[in-house]
C-alpha cells in the first residue's frame, strides 16, 4: 500500500537539508499527482537554497581576500537623508565560518527579514558596535561629518579591536585602523551588509519610539524621511526637537524668508 501523501509531506517538512535529496529520490517513481507536486515544490526550494548559499559565498569574497586578518569589521550607516532623527552606524565582526543566509543590503530586505537577521547577527557575531549622532549635532557639524562620527563611535563600541575595516564607500577620517572603502559594499560584503542591518534596525526602532512621543508626524511609518504627509504636518505645526533644522531651511524659506 502506498504511503499517504500527507505522510510524505511531513517527512519532507522534517527533513534535514543535507538529507533532503535522498528523500526526494525515494519518491520520484511515485506517479501520483500530489507526490509529483510535492517533489517539484521541494526541488525548487532546494535549488533556491543552493543559489542562496552561492550568493552568500560571493558576499564573502572581500572577507576571503583579506583573510589573513583575524578580525574583519564591516561598517555602514543609515539615516543620512531623513529630515528627523539621528544618523546611525553599525560595525560588525562576523566569524570567518559565518553561515547566516539571506544577509544583504538592508534596503533590499523586508522589515520582518531585517528583524530576523538582526537577531541572528547579534547571536553569532564576534562583536557588534553601534554609533549614533543626534539631529542637533548633525546641524552643528553637517551630515557627512556626523556620519563619520557615528562610524567612529560604532568602532569604539566594539568589544574587540578590528584588524581591518571594510567600509561602505567611505574612508573614515581620524581612524588608524586599515580601511578598505567598497563602492556599494552593503551589496558586496557580508560584513558590511550585516552592519547595515544592525544600523537600520537600531534606527528604525528609535523612530518607532519617537512616534509615541510625536504621533502627528508618522515617524513609525516614514522613519523621519520626507514623505508628503510628514512635510504637510511640518508646514502646519512646525518641527520637533528631533528634526534636523539644517535640512528644513529650504522647506520653510517661503514661509520665513528672513
Cell numbers standing for residue 25: 529520490
Question: pLDDT value at position 258?
Answer: 31
Predicted pLDDT at 13: 82
Q: What does the pLDDT look like over 33-44, one tens digit per residue?
A: 888 899 888 888
**What does the pLDDT read at residue 230?**
97
**pTM for this entry:** 0.87
What is the tens place of the pLDDT at every residue in 71-92? 999 999 999 999 999 999 999 9
Given a cut of 90, is residue 2 above it in pLDDT? no
254, pLDDT greater than 60? no
Of residues 5 and 211, more confidence is placed in 211
Quickly list H helices, the chain: 5-13, 20-27, 33-59, 61-65, 111-124, 135-141, 143-156, 190-213, 219-222, 228-237, 249-252
Provide the pLDDT for residue 147. Answer: 98
pLDDT tens digits, one per residue of 124-166: 999 999 999 999 999 999 999 999 999 999 999 999 999 999 9
Amino acid at each position: 500500500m502506498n504511503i499517504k501523501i500527507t505522510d510524505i509531506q511531513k517527512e519532507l517538512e522534517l527533513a534535514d537539508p543535507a538529507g533532503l535529496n535522498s528523500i526526494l529520490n525515494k519518491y520520484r517513481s511515485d506517479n501520483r499527482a500530489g507526490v509529483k507536486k510535492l517533489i517539484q515544490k521541494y526541488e525548487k526550494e532546494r535549488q533556491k537554497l543552493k543559489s542562496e548559499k552561492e550568493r552568500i559565498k560571493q558576499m564573502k569574497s572581500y572577507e576571503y581576500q583579506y583573510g589573513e586578518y583575524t578580525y574583519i569589521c564591516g561598517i555602514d550607516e543609515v539615516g543620512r537623508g531623513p529630515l528627523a532623527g539621528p544618523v546611525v552606524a553599525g560595525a560588525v565582526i562576523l566569524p570567518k565560518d559565518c553561515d547566516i543566509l539571506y544577509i544583504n543590503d538592508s534596503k533590499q530586505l523586508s522589515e520582518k527579514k531585517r528583524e530576523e537577521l538582526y537577531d541572528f547577527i547579534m547571536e553569532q557575531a564576534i562583536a557588534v558596535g553601534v554609533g549614533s549622532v543626534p539631529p542637533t549635532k548633525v546641524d552643528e557639524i553637517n551630515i557627512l561629518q556626523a556620519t563619520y562620527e557615528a562610524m567612529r563611535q560604532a568602532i569604539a563600541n566594539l568589544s574587540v579591536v578590528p584588524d581591518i575595516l571594510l567600509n561602505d564607500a567611505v574612508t573614515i577620517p581620524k581612524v588608524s585602523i586599515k580601511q578598505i572603502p567598497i563602492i556599494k559594499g552593503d551589496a558586496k560584503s557580508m560584513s558590511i551588509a550585516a552592519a547595515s542591518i544592525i544600523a537600520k534596525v537600531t534606527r528604525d526602532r528609535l523612530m518607532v519610539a519617537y512616534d509615541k512621543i510625536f504621533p502627528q508626524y508618522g515617524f513609525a511609518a516614514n522613519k523621519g524621511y520626507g514623505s508628503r504627509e510628514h512635510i504637510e504636518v511640518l508646514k502646519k505645526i512646525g518641527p520637533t526637537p528631533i528634526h534636523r533644522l539644517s535640512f528644513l531651511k529650504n522647506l520653510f524659506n517661503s514661509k520665513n524668508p528672513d
